[in-house]
Amino acid sequence: MKIKANGIDIEVEDTGPARAGEPERPVLLLIHGLGMQLIAWPQLMVQKLVEAGYRVIRFDNRDIGLSQHFDHLRVPNLLWTATRLRLGFPVLPPYSLSDMAQDTLGVLDALGVQRAHVLGVSMGGMIAQRLALAAPARLLSLTSVMSSSGARHLPLPSSDVMRVVMQRAPANREAQIQQTVHVVQAIAGKVYPVPEAVIRERAARAIDRSHHPVGMQRQLVAVGCDFARARALPRISVPTLVVHGNQDGMVPLPGGQDTAKRIPGARLVVIDGMGHDLPDPVVPLLLDAVLPHLQAHQAQTPN
């Protein structure tokens, strides 16, 4: 369904509040990563969270999927932007991760949710961190998965991974699907590989729903420009869990370690063999860490 959040159109999937006479279910808001649509969340994960008693809310971030696109803004030159950032020169992004955090807060407002658990993966973890800084009273807990603090000194993906990830999006649908296969295989890790047929099916479904690579470029610039977030993380007061895989090809493990180190009281869980993806075999391992964290910080009053 489409809602208005922070003044823009956002596409949302909501498992919904409890029926009349049933106890209120705590809300878990999921924020996905760079260029990822809400349909990318593993159905197994959503199902298990609902079975555990949570109202699960997913949405398309701005500029991606069925949410509002920002094509009135410039198309970023990624090479020029990366060069300026590497040399320490200022870059003005089309929009910021703080703007995207306000979108997320707007989703909660539009759905009448006063407090929620928030879980973000990759870029979504960065947005969740910004949300915890901007509106701590609205979060029951924060979970940052396969994400980073944004600190400048942290290691980047390998040159081989960057070469695959930064390839120009092809115009042909079959080539787009094959490019997705190459990207996922480069970042997902070797211990829990995703079958190519599964990647192809997911890619085809996403492309047919909405294919908007320039939106992902603008999101990427927002990520690259948010390095100051690292200095702000010690102000987070929300109970925080940081989860990271030791085979992450996109955001190396030090990104998660640095995040946990900077947030007071944060707990770090490292999942052996997990890469930068959530294949079904990894979902139970992730939930083994996440569910106790959520249960330890339930709301004392209903939303």
CATH number for the domain spanning 74: value is 3.40.50.1820
How confident is the model at residue 302, as a pLDDT?
A: 45
* Strand-pair partners of 243: 145, 269
Q: Is residue 302 part of a domain?
A: no
How confident is the model at residue 299, as a pLDDT?
A: 61
How confident is the model at residue 137, as a pLDDT?
A: 97
Alpha helices in 11-168 (DSSP H): 43-51, 78-86, 97-110, 123-134, 159-165
**Rounded-to-integer distance, Cα 244 and Cα 8, Å:** 32
Burial 226-262 (b: 16+ CB within 10 A, else e): bbebbebbeebebbbbbbbbebbbbbbbbbbbbbbeb
Q: Is residue 278 part of a domain?
A: yes
Token pair recorded at residue 153:
């000194």
**Rounded-to-integer distance, Cα 258 and Cα 262, Å:** 6
Residues of the chain with pLDDT under 70: 299-303
End-to-end, the C-alpha distance of the chain in Å comes to 21
Structural domain including 62 reads 2-296
How confident is the model at residue 135, as a pLDDT?
A: 98
Q: Is residue 188 part of a domain?
A: yes
Taking the model in full, what pTM does it have?
0.95
Q: Is residue 61 part of a domain?
A: yes
Q: Is residue 285 part of a domain?
A: yes
Q: Is residue 203 part of a domain?
A: yes
**Rounded-to-integer distance, Cα 103 and Cα 227, Å:** 20
Among 238, 252, 244, 256, smallest CA distance to 286 is for: 244
**Rounded-to-integer distance, Cα 196 and Cα 174, Å:** 14
**How many folded domains does the chain comprise?**
1
How confident is the model at residue 301, as a pLDDT?
A: 43
Q: What are residue 61's phi and psi, to 5 degrees?
A: -60, 160
